[in-house]
């Protein structure tokens, strides 16, 4: 189990994905978090509409979880996140490049994480507002 502080940073991570994918024009129907496996969370995103604009934004969305976690921890005076918490997202990002070779070279993983910062900050109010709700309910219908 994780304590409340850790649960909040996991929620911020998942909401980071959510706001970034919504920002990219994708529809996030459902956001779920689980704090049961090694302190890492997950979210499920449904009804993703792929498009020219969506491709880059989709890659940024993978990096946005780790970025949101970093910013959350900084602002709530917590130690920085363990980079291993981004491992699952990195694997999904890599799989995306395997499935869509046309995306290779578009955005490195580090660039995807960095590019997520302004997006996450633009929706920071939403993240702050939704974190306690996600921690409480473990799921949200959309962002
Ligand atoms: Zn993630």
Residue partners of 57: CB distance under 8 A and separation at least 6: 20, 21, 23, 24, 25, 26
Residue 31 host element (H or E): strand 31-32
Q: What is the pLDDT of residues 21-74, one digit of tens each?
A: 889 888 777 777 765 544 555 555 544 555 544 578 889 999 999 999 999 999
Pair of tokens at residue 40: 């890492």
**How does 20-57 read in b/e, with b if 16+ C-beta sit within 10 Å?**
bbbbbebebeebebebeeebbbbbebeebeeeeebbeb
Q: What is the pLDDT of residues 1-20, one digit of tens each?
A: 567 888 898 889 989 998 99
- Which pLDDT score, from 0 to 100, does residue 72 have? 97
Distance 52 CA to ligand 1 centre (A): 23
Quote the number of domains for the chain. Answer: 1
pTM of the model: 0.86
How far is residue 81 from each of residues 84, 88, 95, 112, 119, measured CA to CA in Å?
8, 14, 23, 17, 19
Distance 10 CA to ligand 1 centre (A): 9
Distance 92 CA to ligand 1 centre (A): 9
Range of the structural domain that residue 35 is part of: 4-140
Distance 95 CA to ligand 1 centre (A): 14
């Amino acid at each position: 189990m994780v304590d409340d502080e850790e649960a909040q940073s996991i929620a911020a991570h998942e909401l980071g994905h959510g706001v970034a994918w919504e920002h990219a024009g994708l529809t996030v129907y459902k956001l779920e978090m689980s704090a049961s496996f090694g302190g890492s969370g997950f979210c499920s995103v449904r009804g993703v509409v792929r498009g020219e604009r969506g491709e880059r934004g989709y890659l940024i969305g993978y990096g946005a979880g780790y970025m949101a976690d970093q910013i959350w921890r900084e602002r709530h005076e917590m130690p920085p996140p363990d980079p291993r918490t981004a491992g699952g997202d990195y694997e999904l990002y890599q799989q995306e490049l395997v499935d869509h070779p046309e995306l290779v070279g578009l955005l490195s993983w580090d660039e995807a994480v960095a590019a997520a910062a302004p997006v996450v900050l633009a929706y920071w109010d939403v993240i702050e507002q939704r974190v306690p709700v996600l921690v409480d309910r473990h799921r949200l219908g959309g962002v």
